[in-house]
Amino acid sequence: MAPIYLNNAATAWPKAPGLAETIARNLARIPVHPGRSGFDAPDPERDCRESLAALFKVSDPDRILLAANATHASNMALLGIDWREGDAVVTTRAEHNAILRPLYLLQKTRGIQLHFVDVEPTGRVAPESWEQALKRYRPRLAAFTHASNVTGALNDAKTLCSLAKSHGARVLVDASQSAGCTDVLPDEWQADLLVFTGHKYLLGPLGTGGLYLAPGMEIQPVLTGGTGVLSDLKEMPPDLPIRFEVGTPNSTSFEGLAHALAWSREHPVDRAHQEAQLERLVEGLKKAGARVVPWDGPHTPVLSFVLDNVPVEDVGEMLHLSFGIVCRTGLHCAPLIHEQLGFAEGTVRFSLSRFTTDEEVNRAMEAVRLIAG
pLDDT digit string, tens, across residues 17-41: 999 999 999 999 988 776 555 456 6
Q: What was the pLDDT predicted at 37?
A: 52
Q: What was the pLDDT predicted at 39?
A: 57
Does the fold of domain 19-265 match that of domain 4-15+269-372? no
- Rg of the chain over Cα atoms, rounded to whole angstroms, equals 21
* Residue 152, CA distances (Å) to 6, 120, 146, 226 in order: 14, 13, 10, 39
- Residue 126 clears pLDDT 90, i.e. is over it: yes
**Percent of the chain scoring above 90 in pLDDT:** 92
141-194 tens-digit pLDDT: 999 999 999 999 999 999 999 999 999 999 999 999 999 999 999 999 999 999
User: Is residue 175 exposed (0-12), middle (13-18) or buried (19+ Cβ within 10 Å)?
Assistant: buried
Mean pLDDT of 56-82: 98
Give the span between the Cα atoms of 142 and 114, in whole angstroms.
10
Q: Identify the three-state secondary structure at position 1.
A: coil
221-275 tens-digit pLDDT: 999 998 878 888 888 999 999 999 999 999 999 999 999 999 999 999 999 999 9
Mean pLDDT of 42-67: 97
Mean pLDDT of 105-134: 98
Q: What was the pLDDT predicted at 258?
A: 98
Give the span between the Cα atoms of 237 and 227, in whole angstroms.
8
Q: What was the pLDDT predicted at 373?
A: 87
- Residue 276 clears pLDDT 80, i.e. is over it: yes
Which residues on adjacent β-strands are paired with residue 4? 325
Annotated domain spans of the chain? 4-15+269-372, 19-265
Q: Identify the three-state secondary structure at position 327.
A: coil
Architecture of the domain made up of 19-265: 3-Layer(aba) Sandwich (3.40)
Q: What was the pLDDT predicted at 54?
A: 98
- Domain 4-15+269-372, CATH 3.90.1150.10 — does that match? yes
Entry pTM: 0.96
Query: What is the number of H-type helices and E-type strands within the chain?
Result: 12, 13
DSSP assignment string, 184-243: --HHHHT-SEEEEESSSTT---SS-EEEEE-TT-----S-----SSSTT-SS--SSTTTT
212-222 tens-digit pLDDT: 999 999 999 99
Which residues on adjacent β-strands are paired with residue 348? 305, 329
Give the span between the Cα atoms of 346 and 198, in whole angstroms.
26
Asked if residues 313 and 330 have their Cβ atoms less than 8 Å apart, the reply is: yes
Q: What was the pLDDT predicted at 227?
A: 83
Q: What was the pLDDT predicted at 34?
A: 63
